[in-house]
Structure 1
Amino acid sequence: MKPTVLAFDVFGTVVDWHGSIAAEVTQLLPQADPIAFASAWRSGYKPAMARVRSGELGWTRIDDLHRMILDQVLTELKIDHLTEAQKKHLNLAWHRLKPWPDTVRGLTLLKQDFTIVTLSNGNLGLLANMAKNGGLPWDLILSAEVFRHYKPDPQTYLGVCQTFDLKPHEVMLVAAHKDDLEAAHACGLQTAFIERPNEFGPKVTRTDLGQESWTTYHAKDFIDLAAQLKAAS
């Protein structure tokens, strides 16, 4: 059975966070290693969310978590010359992440037959600005902010089902991360793994791109996924 709604992870699946952040760091901090800076900033992402999920921190938007991590990275790298305005601008780089080359065309193809929505830990304002900047044709922007739970909490995946009054198997999570897909699968959703070999930058070779028996679909990119779903009709 084909799904009715496709819910997309965003960071890494829809947009190139590493390449985009590295490019912004190059412009603002030419003395820094942009590849290492982007990786260091992102490495604080899951630990920061874990603090919210555990209750150590109250509900905190990703924008604010990103700023907390940014301040830590700047301190660790002994970068102390940025003004507050420059720090704020750099933090908003996550609103300006660039889509992968196949993204807009692939989403447009998928939108012809499915309702396409975000299911991201990014906050609503971030996702809206990203969509505007990148021309992402979402039918609806859903976020962990809506459900007050970060993935992989079940409330996020089941929240999409509740939003559309659908059973879990009528929704499919599309993601480049198997831990995200495993959590969705455990909630009864269909799953589609998208290979993004360059997600973590030019110095990291992903070794987790093989097909799993429990995923519903496995695709090279969104255009490939659209073709597979079309063929399954």
Structure 2
Amino acid sequence: MVVKACLFDIFGTICDWRSGVSAVAQQVFAARGLQVDAKAFALAWRAQYQPGMERVRAGRRPYVALEELHLENLRRVLAEQNLDLPDEDQVRLNNAWSNLPCWQGAPAALAELRKTHLIAPCSNGSIAMILGIARRNGMHWDFIGGAPLARAYKPLPTVYTQSVAAFGLAPEEVMMIAAHNDDLCAARAAGLRTGFFPRPTEYGSGQDTDLAAEDAWDIVATDLSDLVDQLTG
């Protein structure tokens, strides 16, 4: 079966969330005269990401957009680190996730792939977040899938299958592309094709996860451009 469309993870795969969030955090903390390691703060905030979504996935609370979870997680980390920021600074920090920079070369690679394939994000980010990132980086999607479409969070199967259904295609005609092995494992279980390439500095120089493919994915590439070449060559 020929792959006709591709779904993409966004945070970490297409966007460099660590650099984007830490840059805004550095500005906010410096303006308040606070001596805080902004990159460590970004990592601590990100560490609350999965626990926050798990409460929704497990049915312990209704679905809410990721911005709301991020803001709750931010306040949790601020309290843990005994940091007091006014509401306007918290909003500014939270908005950093909607204005993330892409990894170098990602928009150009996506534009090249879109010449031959349908493309869409399959992210846990909200529509507003994905649109903000797209506008900042000059990216164009055929539609926005993922969590806001399914009103659920990856890796629940419905997040993948509803995005596939929006294409009007069969799961085996759609490839999930991510720099995270667990994301691809869930996508394959839902019937999708899978494509992997690493982002070895997503979490910084000491990263020890997702440095290589951990299974026999349909495509394993060195980077996004290589993956596009393999799909379109």
Q: TM-score, normalised by structure 1?
A: 0.94
**Counterpart of 2:21 in structure 1: which amino acid?**
I
| Alignment correspondent of 1:165 | 168
Q: In structure 2, do the counterparts of structure 1 residues 212 and 201 end up closer, same or farther at CA, with 3 Å as the change threshold? A: closer
SS in 2 for 1:198: coil
The answer to whether the 8 A contact 1:110-1:226 is kept is: yes
The answer to whether the 8 A contact 2:198-2:210 is kept is: no
Higher normalized strand content (fraction of residues): 1
| Alignment correspondent of 1:190 | 193
What is the aligned counterpart of 1:32 among 28, 33, 36? Answer: 36
SS in 2 for 1:113: coil
Distance in 2 between residues matched to 1:11 and 1:54, nearest whole Å:
22
Compute the displacement of 1:120 (Å): 0.4
Distance in 2 between residues matched to 1:125 and 1:207, nearest whole Å:
29
The answer to whether the 8 A contact 1:119-1:144 is kept is: yes
Partner deviation per Cα, 1:155-205 (whole Å, 9 max, x = no partner): 011112211221110010000111110000111100001210111123x23
Compute the displacement of 1:213 (Å): 4.3
SS in 1 for 2:122: strand
CA RMSD of aligned residues (A): 1.2
| Alignment correspondent of 1:206 | 208
Distance in 1 between residues matched to 2:22 and 2:219, nearest whole Å:
31
| Alignment correspondent of 1:22 | 22
1:66 aligns with 2:66: no
Distance in 2 between residues matched to 1:79 and 1:213, nearest whole Å:
42
The answer to whether the 8 A contact 1:174-1:191 is kept is: yes
**Counterpart of 1:57 in structure 2: which amino acid?**
R
Q: In structure 2, do the counterparts of structure 1 residues 89 and 208 end up closer, same or farther at CA, with 3 Å as the change threshold? A: closer
Structure 1 segments unaligned to the other structure (5+ residues): none
Partner deviation per Cα, 1:191-232 (whole Å, 9 max, x = no partner): 001210111123x2334322344300111222111111122x
Compute the displacement of 1:76 (Å): 1.0
Structure 2 segments unaligned to the other structure (5+ residues): none
| Alignment correspondent of 1:78 | 82
SS in 2 for 1:37: helix
SS in 1 for 2:208: coil
Distance in 2 between residues matched to 1:63 and 1:210, nearest whole Å:
30
| Alignment correspondent of 2:223 | 221
Aligned length: 229
| Alignment correspondent of 2:10 | 10
1:47 aligns with 2:51: yes
**Higher deviation after alignment, 221-230 or 147-156:** 221-230
Identity %: 39
The answer to whether the 8 A contact 2:176-2:184 is kept is: yes
Compute the displacement of 1:26 (Å): 1.1
The answer to whether the 8 A contact 1:124-1:143 is kept is: no
Partner deviation per Cα, 1:66-124 (whole Å, 9 max, x = no partner): 000000111111111x2211111111110011000020111011111100100000011
The answer to whether the 8 A contact 2:113-2:232 is kept is: no
**Counterpart of 1:85 in structure 2: which amino acid?**
E
SS in 2 for 1:192: strand
Q: TM-score, normalised by structure 2?
A: 0.94
| Alignment correspondent of 2:232 | 230
| Alignment correspondent of 1:105 | 108
Compute the displacement of 1:28 (Å): 0.9
The answer to whether the 8 A contact 1:109-1:223 is kept is: no
